Structure 1
Amino acid sequence: MIIVTGANGQLGRQIVERLLTRMPAHRVGVSVRDPQKAQALADRGVRVRQGSFTDAVGLAHAFEGASQVFIVSVDEMGEGCVKQHRTAIEAAVAAGARRILYTSQMGAGPTSHFQACRDHAATEEALRACGVPFTSLRNGFYASSAVRFLGHAAESGRLALPADGPVAWTAHADLADAAAAILADEGRFDGPTPPLTGGHALTFDDIAGIATGTTGRSMTRTTVPDDEFREQLVSQGAPAELADQLLGIFAASRAGEFATVDPTLAALLGREPITLGAVLCEQLSEG
């Protein structure tokens, strides 16, 4: 049985949906914090069990009988995040899984300017030390994050952000398709994958142009000093630590950490990846 964690989240749920097109529901299980939110999956024959990365005993039950465990990284940063990932890895090993898969990120490394990439690197070290074969999916930067950074710029016409560098923005839907393909073809990648990226690396100058074409309203990209941007975030209620972490994204992109465009994702999909323009069009229209 393949167990997918975080199946109530945006990426985890899409991975499960893709798996269900490849194999019978009884071969798929999910570990979720709130089983009621996964009732629709249970109704389709997916095994749904409660599991939290802060509860090793609960994870033992959630991972029972797993042949592969797919660990979707938590939406947090710092040592607490890495500790949760270690708990999940240990539970997968104890459950007898023959392979552990993990959603890492392109640019993962101990010296990255972005805290999340340092956390992914620490988790990958835990995977190397666990004694079980693993696959670490080096996912491209989520395209939905670019949409969030746009904020109200589509209405105001002014995209004010710190200086940045090119980023290979990548759609959740494509990464879910790739994850399902890798799970179905066990052992296709051993250790970290190449970067799983969209087909183009874009700056926010590029994104402002794409958004202008998508919305029909002019958008101007302006550069805000890092300190000023941090102060704005804090004044809007963001904790200082989070403000620093968000600034790390821009520092990392300026250093070229997210600029690589790799053909591996397209090869897994058998088609070109979804463009950022398509993601913007969909999400801005929904907004």
Structure 2
Amino acid sequence: MIVVTGATGQLGRLVVEGLLAKVPAAELAVAVRSPQKAADWAARGVTVHRVDYDEPATLAAAFAAGDRVLLISGSEVGARVPQHTAVVEAARAAGVALLAYTGILGGDEASFALADEHKATEAAIRASGLPFVFLRNGWYTENYTANAAGSVAHGAVLGSNGDARIATAARRDYADAAVEVLTGEGHEGRAYELSGDTAWSFSEYAAELAAHSGRPVAYRDLGAEEHRQALIGLGLPEGFATILVDVDAAIARGELARDRGELGRLIGRPTTPMAETVRAALAG
């Protein structure tokens, strides 16, 4: 079986649909917190396991010897190390054939705080002795276009990265990479550094928003604390605002502009241009 954890999230859904296009539903299982959200897949023949990362006892039945497992990183920053470790331990106990993990671009070299839990998870996977693949995902373009309408309405894209460059790709690009690893051969022991083919600046992003909306949008480069306060003023929790400002500092250092082409090579096509994702976001 191929087992996908966290399958009902935004990335997970794309991975499962990609897998269903390549393998029979009877060979696919999903491990999810809310089985009702996977009812459409169950109706198509996919096995659905009710799993909660915070309840290790629920994990045992989700894995079996010989399975290929995709551990999609949890979304609860601060809780992910024990959650991921529980999955790793359950996979080790079951004797799975491959554990793929969606980490973060840069791996051990990443110096921003958001990478810490990913580095700890990779260490736990290595220590488990399981055959593994690390899918070190860069930023999704949708991380920014999710707020495209708001940026257009305010006429500004806010940041504190000095207008440095970032090599994003569409969420589907990263999902396709996971599908390739889960269904292909020769990936064991690899750590893929995945990012978009072309890095872009926030001024370029603002220009795309303006071009596709027909309204003026400009990039406003702020000081770190001014940026943090602006994000809090927009309704973000203080902790999350601090994380985003720390990420911008990493962007300024060039850590997220690694356009090595590994993602495009893995999926066998160019990654989705930023402009295409902007256009889709504003059209929707």
TM-score range, shorter chain: over 0.9
The 10-residue stretch of structure 1 (115-124 or 130-139) with the greater mean CA deviation from structure 2 = 115-124
1:178 aligns to what?
177
2:143 is aligned to: 145
Distance, in Å, in 1 between the alignment partners of 2:122 and 2:238 is 27
> What is the CA deviation profile of residues 233-278 of structure 1, one whole-angstrom value per residue up to 9, with x for unaligned ones?
3344433322211111101101111111022221222221111111
Q: Is 2:268 aligned against 1:280? A: no
Q: Does 1:190 align with 2:189?
A: yes
Q: Is the 8 A contact 1:110 1:121 kept in 2?
A: no
Q: Return the letter of the residue paired with 1:188.
A: H
Aligned residues: 283
RMSD: 1.7
Q: Which residue of 1 aligns with 2:155?
A: 157
The answer for the alignment partner of 1:58 in structure 2 is: 58
Aligned to 1:85: 84
Could you say which residue in structure 1 is the equivalent of 2:120?
122
Secondary structure (helix, strand or coil) at the match of 1:109 reads helix
Q: Distance in 2 between matches of 1:226 and 1:71?
A: 33
Instruction: Report the TM-score when normalising by structure 2.
Output: 0.94
- Code of the aligned partner of 1:100: L
**Whole-angstrom CA distance in 2 between matches of 1:123 and 1:257:** 20
TM-score scaled by structure 1? 0.93
Aligned to 1:95: 94
Letter aligned with residue 23 of structure 2? M
The one-letter code of the counterpart of 1:210 is E
Alignment of 1:12-23 (within 5 A): 12-23=12-23
CA separation in 2, counterparts of 1:147 and 1:69? Answer: 30
Q: Which runs of 5+ in 2 are unaligned?
A: none
The DSSP-based 3-state class of the residue aligned with 1:152 is helix
Give the structure 1 partner of residue 247 of structure 2: 249
Post-superposition Cα deviations, 1:127-182, rounded to whole Å, max 9, x if no partner, equal 11011110010112111112145461212322232234211111111111111111
Name the residue aligned to 1:220.
218
Counterpart contact for 2:98–2:188, Cα < 8 Å: no
Task: Give deviations 1:53-111, integer Å, cap 9, x for gaps.
Answer: 11111011122455111100011323x21111111111111121011110011123366
Distance 2:159 2:110 in 1: 24
Asked whether the equivalents of residues 149 and 282 of structure 2 are also in contact (C-alpha less than 8 Å), the reply is no
Letter of the 2:58 counterpart: G
List alignment gaps of at least 5 residues for structure 1: none
Which whole-Å CA distance do the structure 1 matches of 2:235 and 2:166 have between them? 27
In structure 2, how many angstroms separate the alpha carbons of the residues matched to 1:202 and 1:100? 32
- Which amino acid counterpart does residue 104 of structure 1 have in structure 2? G
The worse-fitting range, judged by mean Cα deviation, of 133-142 and 115-124 is: 115-124
- Aligned to 2:270, the other structure's residue is in SS state coil
**197 and 252 in structure 1: CA distance in 2 versus 1, 3 angstrom threshold:** same
How far has the Cα of 1:29 moved from its partner? 0.3
Residues 98 and 15 of structure 1: is their aligned pair in 2 closer, same or farther, counting only changes over 3 Å?
same
Corresponding residue number in structure 2 for 1:108: 107
